Amino acid sequence: MERNPVTVYESEAPNRWQSLRGAARLAVEGTREVTRLTEQAHWQVLRTMGLAQDDPEKRTRGITGLVYRSIDGITRGVGLGLDSGLGALEPWVAGSSLGAAVDDPNFLTVRAILNGVMGDSLAASGNPLTIPMSLKPLVKNTAGPRKAVRLWGSPQRKVAVLVHGLCMGAHQWQVPENLKEKYPDYQGLGHYLGEALGYEVFLLDYNTGLSVVGNGEKLSGLLQRTLCPGGGDFKGELTLVGYSMGGLVSRSACESARLSGHSWLTGLKHLVTVGTPHQGAPLERGGHQFQQLLRSISHTAPYARLGDLRSNGITDLRHGAVICSPDPKSDTKPSVLPLPEGVHCFAIAGCLAESDTHWSRHPLGDGLVPVYSALGKHRDPDRRLDFKEKDQVLLKGVGHLGLLHAPEVAHQIKAWVAK
């Protein structure tokens, strides 16, 4: 007998007017931040010359300080007036072209990048450019942007949820135009899972600048409301596919579900991670070390603030944080989270090299994530993830971004989950 359905809606993209309002806020905040940064650098130079007193806030005084504070105050006033004016006019543009949703792929890509770089700040300030977490049906419906999608927990139901990576959006699972000639018969992983395995596919959209733990909690709650509307178990078959950061978010969601008692976890059969930095990403660790170097030199110390602007989502990639977010300024490694019990877990890694040598001889991995990190391997046995050898695959000659659209990834997932 079918269970009561639950309604899932596609989240609407911000309209042109909201996007303009969000961009205006960013411009004002950016100007104020540059002003503060310049003042701190100015104070540091004056202090070196013995012309400035110690100040924990590194503020200049006298006429110099008055100039900086005047610039900041005027910018803040202009920003408040502009935001208030744009907000007041929004109802008047609702029926015009300015009130239409912006669904241009280029805009969605820029918005996703902004969310990845500073999504926690966007969310904290209520910026309209913030991406809310939502599930999007793969097939674009024709009954309007808010057509309901009905899910039931019948044993025959097969649902796959694709979770994208840092600075990305749900629209990027689609094979881009520049690869369609290379893959003429391949529309993307979601379409493949739907057509070859009969899955009902949903694409998760979310703010990748928030912490992995925070997004994991949000995803667990969203899956619970979607798959288990009455609070019972989801008796169908659920597969989570996480690309890059998406694999960390998926693992975190499993742990959040376990701690919260969310029953969707009972229906999770497969967890596939693709190019996921389970053991961290060297690029973020290098960025952190460079920031520490800037902080250690008096004249460049103010510019270390630029590193503080990067989002919690980015800093979580330093060590692959899944259940706790260490202090961004420290090198403390997060606690290790084992793979979820009772779930068949798989890992796919990419490698730029095409030679047949062992994975350990490819330190660069896919260009962003080392092979050992994507496969959950670590020299410390206590930090290793227990992916079985038969459930690990290394795709050679495939870079990190290539993993997102490589048909080999889809074929491998089919070989695993169809058993």
Helices 16-48 and 62-89 cross at an angle (nearest 10°) of 170
- And the tokens for 279? 């053991």
Residue 344 CB burial class (10 angstroms; 0-12, 13-18, ≥19): middle
Task: Give the chain's domain count.
Answer: 2
In the beta sheet, which residues pair with residue 393? 348
Do residues 209 and 243 both lie within one domain? yes
- 305 found inside a domain: no
Around Cβ 333, how many Cβ atoms within 10 Å? 16
Note whether 224 and 152 are same-domain residues: yes
**273 lies in some domain:** yes
Question: Which pLDDT score, from 0 to 100, does residue 251 have?
Answer: 96
The pLDDT score that the predictor gives to residue 203 is: 95
Please choose, from the candidates 387, 391, 385, the residue with its C-alpha nearest in 3D space to the C-alpha of residue 413: 391
- The DSSP secondary structure of 123-143, one letter per residue, reads HHHT-TTPPPPEEEESSPPSS
170 and 103 in one domain?
A: no
Nearest-angstrom CA–CA distance, 397 and 351 = 6
Are 115 and 154 contained in the same domain?
Answer: no
In a domain, 301, yes or no: no
CA 294 distance to own-chain centroid: 27
Residue 398 belongs to a domain: yes
In a domain, 75, yes or no: yes
Q: Of 238, 102, 217, which Cα lies nearest the Cα of 169? A: 102
Among 120, 138, 160, identify where a domain stops: 120
Task: Provide the 10 A C-beta neighbour count for residue 27.
Answer: 14
374 and 232 assigned to the same domain: yes
Q: Are residues 255 and 352 in the same domain?
A: yes
| CATH (domain of 396) | 3.40.50.1820
Closest CA to 403 of 364, 349, 358: 349
State whether 87 and 172 are in the same domain: no
Q: 165, 122, 124: which is closest to 19 by C-alpha?
A: 122
Q: Which amino acid is at 370?
A: P
Domain end, chosen from 60, 85, 120, is at 120
Distance from C-alpha of 321 to C-alpha of 151, rounded to nearest angstrom: 32
* Dist CA 164 CA 154 (whole Å): 27
Considering the domain architecture, whether residues 263 and 363 belong to the same structural domain is answered as: yes
Strand-strand pairing, 158-163 and 237-243? parallel
Rounded Cα gap, residues 299 and 241, in angstroms: 46
- What pLDDT shows up at residue 177? 85
What residue ranges in 189-306 does DSSP mark as E strands?
Answer: 200-205, 237-243, 268-274
Look at residue 248 in the predicted model and tell me its pLDDT.
94
Q: Tell me if 304 is assigned to some domain.
A: no
Whether 192 is in a domain gets the answer: yes
Q: Which of 76, 93, 120 is the last residue of a domain?
A: 120
Q: Are residues 181 and 234 in the same domain?
A: yes
Tens-digit pLDDT profile for the chain (419 aa)?
Answer: 233 333 343 445 566 656 666 666 666 666 666 667 666 666 666 666 666 677 777 777 777 777 767 777 776 776 566 566 656 656 655 655 555 566 678 888 888 888 888 888 888 888 888 899 999 888 643 333 333 344 544 556 899 999 999 989 999 998 888 888 888 889 899 999 999 898 999 999 999 989 999 999 999 999 999 888 877 778 889 999 999 999 999 999 999 999 999 999 999 999 999 999 998 776 544 333 433 443 444 444 444 444 455 567 777 777 566 766 555 445 556 677 889 999 999 999 999 887 666 555 566 688 888 899 999 998 888 888 999 999 999 998 899 999 999 999 999 999 999 87
User: Are 169 and 58 in the same domain?
Assistant: no
Do 169 and 114 lie in a common domain? no
Q: Are the C-beta atoms of residues 278 and 333 closer than 8 Å to each other?
A: no
Distance between alpha carbon 30 and the CA centroid of its chain, in Å?
Answer: 22
- Give me the domain span that covers residue 31: 16-120
Domain-located, residue 318: no
User: Are the beta carbons of 253 and 322 closer than 8 angstroms?
Assistant: no
Residues 192 and 254 in one domain: yes
pLDDT at 149: 44
